[in-house]
Structure 1
Amino acid sequence: MGQALGDVLGLAAGVAVSPLPIVAIILVLATPQGRLNGLLFTLGWLAGLSALGGIMLAIGGAGGSSTHHQPATWVGGLKLVLGLLLVLFGTRQWRHRPKGATQAELPKWMAAIDRFTPIKVLGLGLALSAANLKNAPLTLAAAASISASGLPAGQQIASLAVFVIIGSLGLLAPLGVFLFMGDQAKTVLGGWKDWAAQHNVAVMAALFFVLGLKLLGDGIGILTS
């Protein structure tokens, strides 16, 4: 199980560093029902990562590992494709990043978050985890690595749970600040929101590129071993 966790910790950290979802949850926490909406958003995020990873584990099953306890060829192919996509996305993001100190334009739907119903907030958390251009490939790659480990089903599920928890730290931190820091939370979260909004594109581009190269290396290593 240790080997499987070692393979996915970096990917989980890449999921955790997600500026746009961090901005989203801070805006959600600032709504009149901030406590409820923050919990629902986080629940949706956790459910999205868990469902996507669980589907990948179910697809991989025992076929993720060869008879010699090496990752199956399809695992290498999947990582190669996902890595290539991330590198391409990263390159595109970097080319379109804002110049100087200009803040990147945030999606228009963010301006309407204070009017979202609890169901919409839950769905937003689900979408930003499972349908995110960075998080979805990383979650699929992590689950494929876990499937390739040859571990028993219970340990695979436990490994995925650790991945989901670490991948959610970027959201759990603002939620914890909101719940436990009282009056200071508004100032702290405001600073985090401004930083994440300003550096969103550059951070995403760097993560796309670095993690994409890692997946490309993993895929090539599996296919040539």
Structure 2
Amino acid sequence: MGKVLGDVLGFAAAVAVSPLPIIAIILILATPRGRLNGVLFTVGWILGLSALGAVMLGIASPAGASAHHQPATWVGALKLALGLFLALFGARQWHRRPKDPSQARLPKWMGAIDRLTPARILALGLALAALNAKNAPLTIAAGASIGSAGLPVGQQIASLAIFVLIATLGLLAPLGVFLLGGERARTTLGSWKDWAAQHNAAVMAVLFFVLGLKLLGDGISVLAS
């Protein structure tokens, strides 16, 4: 189990520092129902990551993700494909990043966050975790790594739970600051939001490119063994 956790912690950390969800929860916390909506958004995020990871584990186990204690060929092919996607996506993000960080623009949907109902806030958290093109490949890769290790079901679930917990730290930090920080929380969260908005493209480009190269190496290693 220790080796599996070593493989997936990098993916979890990359999901945790994804700037867009962090910006989203900071904007949500600034709404009139910020306390409730912030918790709902985080719950939706956790459900999204857990559901996508569980689906991957459900596919991996009966499909023979681990053959003779070695990852099956299809796992290597999946990692190779995900690695290529992430490396190319990272290179594209770097090329398209604003030359002047102060000129960075947030997605238009963020302007409507203060008008979303609690149910839609929950759905937004779920979608950003499970359907977002930036986070879903990392969760799929983590699920494949866990499923291909030949662990007992209990250890697979525990590994996925640890992945989800680490991947949620990026939301738990601003939520904790908001709930415990008093009046200074707004200033602190505002500075976090501004930094994340300005450096979103560059941060994700570097993370995706590095993790993409790692997955490419993992996939080649599995296919060559």
Instruction: Measure, in 1, the Cα distance between the counterparts of 2:59 and 2:103.
Output: 41
Supply the distance in 2 between the matched residues of 1:158 and 1:93 (Cα, whole angstroms): 33
Q: How many Å separate the matches in 2 of 1:130 and 1:158?
A: 19
Which range moves more in the overlay, 40-49 or 99-108? Answer: 99-108
Contact map agreement 1:41 1:125 (CA 8 A) in 2: yes
Tell me the equivalent position of 1:190: 190
CA distance in 2, matches of 1:45, 1:103: 28
Q: Tell me which residue corresponds to 1:51.
A: 51
Aligned-pair CA distance for 1:201: 0.8
Tell me what 1:148 maps to: 148
**Residue in 2 aligned with 1:173?**
173
In structure 1, stretches of 5+ residues that fail to align are none
Q: Secondary structure at the match of 2:71?
A: coil
Q: CA deviation at 1:92?
A: 1.0
| Whole-Å separation in 1 of the counterparts to 2:103 and 2:180 | 29
Q: In 2, distance between residues paired with 1:219 and 1:46? A: 28
Say whether the 8 Å CA contact 1:103–1:197 is kept in structure 2: no
The Cα of 1:52 is off from its aligned counterpart by 0.2
Letter in 2 for 1:66: A
Report the Cα distance in structure 1 between the residues aligned to 2:70 and 2:203, rounded to whole angstroms: 33
Aligned to 1:76: 76
Query: What whole-Å deviation, never above 9, does each CA across 1:138-170 have from its counterpart, x for those lacking one?
Result: 100111110111011111000000000001111
Within the alignment, does 1:108 sit opposite 2:108 as a pair? yes
**Does residue 216 of structure 2 align to residue 216 of structure 1?**
yes
Aligned length: 224
How do 1:28-67 residues align onto structure 2 when only pairs under 5 Å count?
A: 28-62=28-62, 63-67=64-68
Question: Which position in structure 2 is the counterpart of 1:7?
Answer: 7
- Seq. identity, %: 72
Deviation at 1:102, TM superposition (A): 2.8
CA displacement 1:95-147 (0-9 Å, x = unmatched): 11101233321111111100100011001101111112121011001111101
What letter is aligned with 1:44?
G
Residue by residue over 1:43-77, the C-alpha shift from the partner in whole angstroms, topping out at 9 and shown as x without a partner, is: 0000000000000000001511112x011111110
Distance 1:92 1:101 in 2: 17
